[in-house]
Amino acid sequence: MLIIVLLVCFLWNAATAPAWATSDDTLRQIHALIPSHARSYSQICQLLGQLDHASSLVTLESLGQSYQGHPIWLVTATDPNYSSDEKIRLFIIARQHGTECAGTTATLALVQYLAESSSTVPAQLLRYFEISAVPVANPDGCIAGRRTNGQYVDLNRDWGKFTQPETQAIRAAILHRRPHAVIDLHELPEANRKLSYSENFIETIGNSDSLPKLLCANTIAASHDICYWMKAYGYPLNVYYDYPGDSLALCHRYWGLNQGIPSFLCESKTGGGRSLPERAGFHLLAILGIINYLGRQHLAPTRVGSEVMTTSQPLPPPPTEIPLTLTIRLEPVANGDNNTDLAVCTQVEGSGQFGFVAVKVDGTTKLLTTQRTERYLLDTSRLSGGQHYISAELHSKSGTRLATQQETFPIPLSDIQVAK
């Protein structure tokens, strides 16, 4: 199905694609390397060995051993003739949860393309980038077919604590490489009914006064880019944001909120007939979108071959027959704790194209969604007493704000606040 989407998008994108990463031809070539069914752990190890020998641009090393003694492989793609210090360094982690195979599959397809393609793209890209990837962060869980590692620990709740050999080994590798961005790849269970698990999503660092300005600017600009590409290739996407105070036990929050590195959690939705190539395609597009963003951010255009990176051109406004309209509606939702949460329902109508809808609470962005209809569940227990402003903003594909709708929502003052 993705290939059909790619073909449909080809002409539309040809005039506007800002980078090699999103060149349809390159994406199609990488996507063609995705198998229809997940590889076993031993097949993954065999492929990694093959890629290590296939090209001087790809090297394989073991970071250490899992709880049950399996190697934790790190594969690095870069041109060793140029200094790592001068490169844009990206660190990808896949499969902290042993059953979530789409991120592993996408990572392997990308590395295989970089090792084996006869095109000029790998050499051009890896002159400027160092891409390090742990394709299977949890070998024990991958082999056993379960979420946790050999000690029954959920590795993506172990960051900051570092009680497990897997998180310790990966942490040391990331500290050593000082990446410009960290990407952590996961999959969402089909059966989970949580509203935020209803569709593919990316989670990254939100805009907060108590965080470094450049960190927030980078994560938010990158998430806008990713929305653009997901929409172009027909992948529904929500983007959620993290703020100081959120648990650091999750990998991307540890590196983002604690260590100040732009970090991204990518989750592909499973079930509903979504094939492995479709789910892995989501991860591939997220990785390439971030590579593309980093390239534009860190490389002066004069240093880059035109085939590799060009500057994004704003899109012309699409022909619109029925003007786009945006509505916002607040729905109280009982949450079972004698408390009421709030569903923020947004809807875009009309026949035109748009980029995404942003949901803000008191001016702080909580969600970007590429979907016409979305229901975002707001935890009101974290809001102080008084009047709050909840707004939805409709953005065009080039990021221009087209419309804003706002509602107010009162939270009763607590006894303490009334006494003040």
Report the C-alpha gap between 345 and 338 in whole angstroms.
22
Report the C-alpha gap between 138 and 41 in whole angstroms.
10
Minimum CB–partner distance for residue 347 and Zn ion (Å) = 30
Minimum CB–partner distance for residue 96 and Zn ion (Å) = 6
Task: Compute CA 198 distance to the chain's CA centroid, rounded to the nearest angstrom.
Answer: 16
238: β partners: 201, 369
Report the C-alpha gap between 184 and 96 in whole angstroms.
8
Contact of 248 with 181, CB cutoff 8 Å? no
- From residue 341 to residue 370, what is the string marking binding to Zn ion with x (rule CB under 5 A)? ------------------------------
Footprint on residues 170-209 left by Zn ion (CB under 5 A): 186
Taking the least distance from each CB to Zn ion, the nearer of 188 and 239 is: 188
Q: Is the dihedral of CA 223, 263, 202, 403 positive or negative?
A: negative
Taking the least distance from each CB to Zn ion, the nearer of 58 and 94 is: 94
**269 contacts Zn ion (rule: CB under 5 A):** no
Minimum CB–partner distance for residue 81 and Zn ion (Å) = 37
Taking the least distance from each CB to Zn ion, the nearer of 265 and 361 is: 265
Q: Choose the stretch contacting Zn ion; rule: CB under 5 A; options: 92-100, 221-229, 278-286, 368-376.
A: 92-100
- From residue 49 to residue 88, what is the string marking binding to Zn ion with x (rule CB under 5 A)? ----------------------------------------
Position of minimal CB gap to Zn ion: 186
Minimum CB–partner distance for residue 191 and Zn ion (Å) = 14
Please count the residues of this chain forming the interface with Zn ion, following the rule CB under 5 A.
3
Taking the least distance from each CB to Zn ion, the nearer of 215 and 276 is: 276
Give the Cα-Cα-Cα angle 358, 362, 363 (nearest 5 degrees): 50
Q: Is the dihedral of CA 244, 245, 251, 255 positive or negative?
A: positive
Minimum CB–partner distance for residue 64 and Zn ion (Å) = 21
Contact of 78 with 130, CB cutoff 8 Å? yes
Give the Cα-Cα-Cα angle 206, 211, 216 (nearest 5 degrees): 40
Report the C-alpha gap between 176 and 164 in whole angstroms.
19
Q: Choose the stretch contacting Zn ion; rule: CB under 5 A; options: 89-97, 237-245, 304-312, 332-340.
A: 89-97
Q: Is the dihedral of CA 406, 412, 418, 420 positive or negative?
A: negative
Report the C-alpha gap between 142 and 40 in whole angstroms.
8
Taking the least distance from each CB to Zn ion, the nearer of 154 and 341 is: 154
The tokens describing 137, both together, are 């962060």
Minimum CB–partner distance for residue 146 and Zn ion (Å) = 12
Taking the least distance from each CB to Zn ion, the nearer of 127 and 252 is: 252
**283 contacts Zn ion (rule: CB under 5 A):** no
> Residue 7 CB: number of other CB atoms within 10 A?
11
Minimum CB–partner distance for residue 268 and Zn ion (Å) = 10
Taking the least distance from each CB to Zn ion, the nearer of 267 and 374 is: 267
Contact of 284 with 203, CB cutoff 8 Å? no
Minimum CB–partner distance for residue 222 and Zn ion (Å) = 21
Which residues touch 293 (CB under 8 Å, ≥6 apart)?
Answer: 218, 221, 222, 225, 226
Taking the least distance from each CB to Zn ion, the nearer of 251 and 315 is: 251
Report the C-alpha gap between 236 and 285 in whole angstroms.
12
**97 contacts Zn ion (rule: CB under 5 A):** yes
Minimum CB–partner distance for residue 148 and Zn ion (Å) = 11
Q: Choose the stretch contacting Zn ion; rule: CB under 5 A; options: 61-69, 85-93, 96-104, 253-261.
A: 96-104
Residues that bind Zn ion (CB under 5 A): 97, 100, 186
